């Protein structure tokens, strides 16, 4: 009873899971520069590394350094991969700050935000009252004529037109 | 800037839809402001390109386009400290010169008092009196939408414009009657806060005839957008005719 209080269930489960995950790797007994390490002890090291105990890690590290004392050409590809992973792999201080998929998550979030604001904008636009009467091309053409009369744009052209034609276009009317 | 100037048609004495550049100048002060704006933009472009290239060189260390020796070196550090200093000086000198030039009010030929009120402008031509011995003054309200004549500019045209002569030193004395407003005419390079209890002055010589529009530029209440100012610059004889009608 006391044992179960001191050692909560989830820790026990985590420990057993860890043991299960490392169960395939047999203890390294054949430490010698000339004998290749057993394949199970090295396979998928990057997925197992964080769940291994310190003892297991140190064993593997020392075994690999023993192996590297011999000619490196004799190392098996798995050993090279394991040595590289232990030295430079994404664990300890080299663990990535942001887990994989963060960029996609951010991009998706931003796009969703833009889409939502676009929807809000369009729905507000949909319920707005009618545009002012000056927002017609006829009116704006008349504004242009008025501005031309007062020489409003002496250095280059001007244009007040921003709206599509509504009703009859003045030029069509003339015809 | 030159390319932009040639390819857009957004200069005006009035705001233009999708306008991307400043309005045409109608006074030496506004001309100076345009000049400073263009000059500063030129320096900014140079700075942007330089900093952009340095950043690129830092990020793409082994790229064909980057120069890896640009990332460290004492001479380089010296240069990239000195360069911004020079840039800032080049920007600061013309802008301070312009600032103090615009502040100067030298021997104005006439004075107009502009009082910002919620939500209209009240103008007073203090140098002239009418037949009753009163100074000429009037209120200027925005034309409401339903009263706009065909072709008039919404939110810009007013019922009575400020008529002023061209080629004359004019002083505007600006104040507020209730809250802070801002007397702003971009084509003349004006932007003067109309602060209650204070008189601020600005002077100008308008160099061409025209109608120059502006809008209150200090949030002053619900109808802040509905108190524009319209200055109509006319020749001296026309101005005198207008005066006689008042």
Tokens, residue B96: 């301070």
Supply the pLDDT for residue B104: 86
Mutate to test the interface with B, among A158, A167, A170, A173 (most CBs of B within 10 A): A158
Domain boundaries along the sequence of chain B: 28-103, 110-245
Question: In angstroms, rounded to a whole number, what is the distance separating the alpha carbons of residues A37 and A22?
Answer: 16
Rounded CA separation A36/B199 (Å): 92
The CATH number of the structural domain formed by B110-245 is: 2.60.40.420
Closest CA in chain A for residue B23: A153
- Among A100-114, B5-19, B168-182, whose mean pLDDT is lowest? B5-19
Residues 6 or more apart whose CB falls under 8 angstroms from that of B239 comprise B163, B164, B165
Q: Mind telling me how many Å the CA of A148 is from chain B's nearest CA?
A: 10
Query: What are the pLDDT digits (tens) for A6-16?
Result: 444 444 444 44
Beta bridge partners of B129: B135
Summarised one tens digit per residue, pLDDT across range A104-126 is: 999 999 999 999 999 999 999 88
Q: What is the DSSP string of B3-25?
A: HHHHH-----SS--TT--SPPPP
Instruction: Provide, as residue numbers in chain A, all residues whose Cβ is less than 8 Å from the Cβ of B17.
Output: 159-162
Range B6-23 average pLDDT: 63
Closest CA to B145 of B153, B134, B137, B136: B153
What are the structure tokens assigned to B181, written together?
């407003």
Q: Chain centroid to CA A167: how far?
A: 52
Contacts of B211 in chain A (CB under 8 A): 150, 152
Task: Tell me which chain A residues have a C-beta less than 8 angstroms from the C-beta of B12.
Answer: 147, 152-153, 158
């Amino acid at each position: 009873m006391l044992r179960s209080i001191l050692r909560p269930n989830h820790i026990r489960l985590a420990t057993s899971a860890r043991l299960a995950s490392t169960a395939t790797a047999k203890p390294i007994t054949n430490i010698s520069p000339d004998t290749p390490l057993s394949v199970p002890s090295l396979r998928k090291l990057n997925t197992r590394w964080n769940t291994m105990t310190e003892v297991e890690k140190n064993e593997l590290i020392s075994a690999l350094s023993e192996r590297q004392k011999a000619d490196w050409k004799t190392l098996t590809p798995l050993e090279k991969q394991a040595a590289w992973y232990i030295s430079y792999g994404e664990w300890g201080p080299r663990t990535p700050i942001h887990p994989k998929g963060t960029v996609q998550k951010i991009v998706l979030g931003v796009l969703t935000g833009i889409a939502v604001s676009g929807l809000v904008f369009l729905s507000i636009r949909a319920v707005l009252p009618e545009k002012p009467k000056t927002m017609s091309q006829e009116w704006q053409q008349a504004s242009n004529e008025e501005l031309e009369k007062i020489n409003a744009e002496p250095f280059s052209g001007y244009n007040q037109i921003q709206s599509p034609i509504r009703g009859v276009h003045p030029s069509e009317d003339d015809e | 800037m030159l390319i932009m100037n040639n390819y857009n048609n957004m200069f005006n004495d009035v705001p233009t839809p999708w306008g991307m550049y400043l309005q045409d100048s109608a006074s030496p002060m506004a001309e100076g402001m345009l000049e400073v704006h263009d000059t500063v933009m030129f320096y900014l472009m140079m700075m942007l390109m330089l900093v952009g290239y340095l950043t690129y060189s830092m990020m793409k260390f082994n790229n064909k386009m980057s120069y890896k020796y640009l990332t460290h070196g004492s001479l380089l550090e010296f240069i990239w400290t000195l360069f911004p200093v020079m840039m800032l000086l080049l920007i600061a000198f013309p802008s301070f010169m312009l600032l103090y030039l615009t502040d100067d009010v030298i021997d104005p030929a006439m004075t107009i008092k502009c009082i910002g009120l919620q939500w209209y402008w009240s103008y007073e031509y203090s140098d002239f009196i009418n037949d009753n011995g009163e100074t000429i003054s009037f209120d200027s309200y925005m034309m409401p939408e339903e009263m706009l004549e065909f072709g008039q500019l919404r939110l810009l045209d007013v019922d009575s414009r400020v008529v002023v002569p061209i080629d004359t030193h004019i002083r505007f004395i600006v104040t507020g009657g209730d809250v802070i407003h801002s007397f702003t005419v971009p084509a003349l390079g004006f932007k003067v806060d109309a602060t209650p209890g204070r008189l601020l002055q600005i002077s100008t010589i308008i160099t061409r005839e025209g109608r120059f529009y502006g809008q209150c530029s200090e949030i002053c209440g619900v109808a802040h957008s509905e108190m524009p100012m319209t200055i109509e610059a006319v020749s001296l004889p026309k101005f005198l005719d207008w005066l006689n009608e008042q």
